[in-house]
Amino acid sequence: MKLDEPAVGCYTLNGESVLTFPEDQSKENICAPLEEVREQNPGTRILLVLDNFSSHICEHTRKRAHQLGIDLVFLPVGSPHLN
C-alpha cells in the first residue's frame, strides 16, 4: 500500500501498535510517535527498527528514544527492500 502522506507506525508483537500521520518527517515530529509508543506500552521493552532517514538517525531522536527507554536498531544502508 502506498500512502501519499508521511506515516509513522510501530507494530507490536505483544502490546499496543501505533500509527500516526505527522505533518512532516522532521526530527520533532518523529519523536512524537516514540512518546506515543511508550505511553501505549508502559513498562515493556521496546525495540524499534528504523531505516536511515536523517530524522531517524539524528542525535535528537536517539536522545529522546534513550530517555523513553526505547532501543533503536537501524537497517543496513542501501536496503530499501527491508522497509
Contact (Cβ atoms closer than 8 angstroms) between residue 19 and residue 32: no
**Tens digit of pLDDT for each residue in 25-55?**
777 778 888 999 999 999 999 998 888 887 8
The CA R_g of the chain, rounded to the nearest whole Å, is 12
**Tens digit of pLDDT for each residue in 57-71?**
899 999 999 999 999
Q: Does the structure show a pLDDT above 70 at 77?
A: yes
Delineate the domains of the chain, giving CATH numbers in brackets.
Answer: 8-82 (3.30.420.10)
User: Amino acid identity of 15?
Assistant: G
Contact (Cβ atoms closer than 8 angstroms) between residue 47 and residue 71: yes
CA dist., res. 21 & res. 64, Å (int): 19
Q: What count of Cα atoms within 13 Å lies in the side-chain half-sphere of residue 66? A: 7
Residue of 22, 28, 23, 26 lying closest to 9 (CA atoms): 22
